[in-house]
Amino acid sequence: MLFRSAFLIAMLAAGRLSAQSATPTEPPAEGPVPATTPAAVQIEELERRLRELAARVNELESAGGKAPEHTAADGEQRGLTGGSDSEAATPPREEPSAVSQTGPISGYMDFHLNRPEHADPVLDFHRFVLLFNHSFTDRIRFIGELELEHALVEGLEPSGELELEQAYLDFRVNRAFNLRAGMLLAPVGIINERHEPPSYHGVERPFVDTFIIPTTWFDAGVGIHGTFGAAWHYRAYLMAPLDATRITAEEGLAEARQKGFLSNVRSIAQTARLEYGGLPGLTLGTSFWQGESGFNFPREGAHVGVVEFDGRYHTGPFAIRGEFAQVFIDGADALNDLLQRTAGVNPNIARQMRGFYIEPSLRPLPKLPYDTAVFLRYENFDTQFRMPPGVLPLKQFDRAAWIVGASYFPDPDIALKVDYSVVRNQSLLFGSVDSLNVGLGWWF
C-alpha cells in the first residue's frame, strides 16, 4: 500500500512538473491568482490530490504501514452496493472538487451447479452485475447497478431477467444528514443491501432473505441517510409500495415487488434501518417496511408491514450471524376473497409470515495464506404462520432447512463455495428436496 501510494505521488508530481514546463513563465503577481484556464484547474486538482495522498501515506506510516484487512469469514465486508453505511460515515470535503470523475466500474458475478435430489444437475450462470458511479462533485454522486440473471433474456420465452436494481443520486450534505433519490435498495435485513457473493456463506442466499424478505428488494424512492454518535448509522426512505395481489402462499412477498416499472404510488411506503457498530466485532441492526398495498382493489385495504432484527459478531477465527423477520398483512381475508372471485382459486395468503436463521462459521486454518471457512446455518421460514379466520394453513409451506458448507477464498474478492441443503416441511403429503450446490463468485 505504501509503495503504491508513493508511486502515485511521484506520478502526480511528475505530471505537474510537465504541465508547468509546458507553460511560459510569467512575472509573479501580487496575491493568489484564481485559476481561469482548464490547464490551471487541472493543476490545482492535481495539487489537492497530491496533498491528500501525502496525508494518507503519513497515516499508514504511523499505523505501521499496514491497512486493515477483512475476509468474508469475518462477517463484515466492504459493500459494492449503494446501501453501505460507510458512505455516510465519510464526510465530504469542505471545498468540493471542480473536476467531475467517472468510475471505476465495479461489479460481481456468480455461477452455480445445483444438483437437487432425484433430478438432473443444472449449471447456471446466475448473475452478471455491473455497477457504475460518477462523481459530479465531492458532494453529488451517481450510483447505478444493472443485473443480468440466468445469462439470457428472450422475449415471450422462459428466460432470465435484466433488471435495473439501483440508479440514484447521492447529495452529501454532512456526516449526519445526506439525501438520496432514484432507484433504491430497501434497507431491510442483512443481505438485501450486501448481496455480493463473497459477503455471505452458502451458494444460494438464505431462504429467509428470499421468501420473507424478498431480496433483492428495490424500487423508486427518495430518502435520507447518515451517521450520528460514535457508531450509529441510519437510512430512511419513501418508496413505491408492494402489490398485494401478487403475494403468494408459497413464495410470500417475492413476486409482490413493483421494481420501478410504472410503479403505482397511490400510497407511499415507508422504510428505515438503524445499525450500531460501536463494539469490536459486533454489528446490530433493525429495520422495518410498511405501506398500503391494495391499489389493485380500491374498495378494500391491504396494509403490508415487515419488521426485522439482525446481528453479526466475529472474533478471531469465529463468526456468527442471525436474523429474524416477520410480515404482517392486514386485510388478508379480503385479499383472498377478491383473488378467489377473480381467479377461481383461493390463494391462501396468510395474515402473518415469519422467518429466522442462525449461522455460526469458523476459519479452521487462519494461518494459511488463503482463507477458508466452514459454516452451519439453520433456517425456519413459514409463509403460512398465521392465517385469516376460517382459512387453514398449507403445511408444505411451513419449512425448515439445515445448510452445511465451506468457502475457499484464493483472493479476498473470490469465493469458491460448496454446500449441502436439507429442507423439510410439516406436510405429510408433500416431500422435500435436498440439494448439493457448488458455486464460484467474485467481485471487483
49-63 average pLDDT score: 60
Helix (H, G, I), strand (E, B) or coil at 392: coil
Phi, psi of 147 (to 5 degrees): -125, 130
* Three-state DSSP class for residue 79: coil
pLDDT tens digits for range 138-192: 999 999 999 999 988 877 667 788 999 999 999 999 999 999 999 999 999 999 9
- Is-contact 302 293, C-beta < 8 A? yes
Beta pairing, strands 282-292 & 178-185: unpaired
| Amino acid identity at 13 | A
Cis peptide before 216 (omega within 30 of 0): yes
Pick the residue with more confidence: 369 or 263? 263
Q: Does residue 100 surpass a pLDDT of 90?
A: no
Provide the pLDDT confidence category of residue 38 given band limits of 50, 70 and 90.
Answer: low
Beta strand pairing call for 371-386 and 269-279: unpaired
Bridge partners for 320 per DSSP: 313, 360
Query: What CA–CA distance (Å, rounded) separates 75 from 70?
Result: 9
Instruction: Scan for cell 378494500, then name that residue.
Output: 300
Q: How many CA atoms lie within 13 A of 101 on its CB side?
A: 12
Q: For residue 63, give the nearest of 12, 13, 5, 8 by alpha carbon.
A: 5
Question: With pLDDT > 70 as the criterion, what percentage of the chain qualifies?
Answer: 77
Q: Kindly report, residue by residue over 288-326, the tens digit of the pLDDT.
A: 999 998 888 766 678 999 999 999 999 999 999 999 999
- The SS3 of residue 293 is coil
Other CB atoms closer than 10 Å to residue 158's CB: what's the count?
7
Pick the closest to residue 439 from 195, 197, 199, 148 (CA basis).
197
How far apart CA 14 and CA 6 sit, in angstroms, is 12
| pTM score over 0.95 | no
Full DSSP string of 19-37: HHHTS---PPPSS-----S
Average pLDDT over every residue of 64-85: 45
Quick one: pLDDT band at residue 423, thresholds 50, 70, 90? Answer: very high
Write the secondary structure of 80-143 as one string of H (helix), E (strand) and C (coil): CCCCCCHHHHCCCCCCCCCCCEECCCEEEEEEEEEEECCCCCEEEEEEEEEEEEEECCCCEEEE
Q: Kindly state the helix (H) or strand (E) to which residue 341 belongs, with its residue range.
A: helix 332-343
Strands (E), 346-413: 352-362, 371-386, 398-411
Cell of 413: 474478492
372 grid coordinates: 477458508
- How confident is the model at residue 37, as a pLDDT? 58
How many Cβ atoms from other residues are within 10 Å of residue 77's Cβ?
19
Say how many CA atoms lie within 13 Å of 146 toward its Cβ.
6
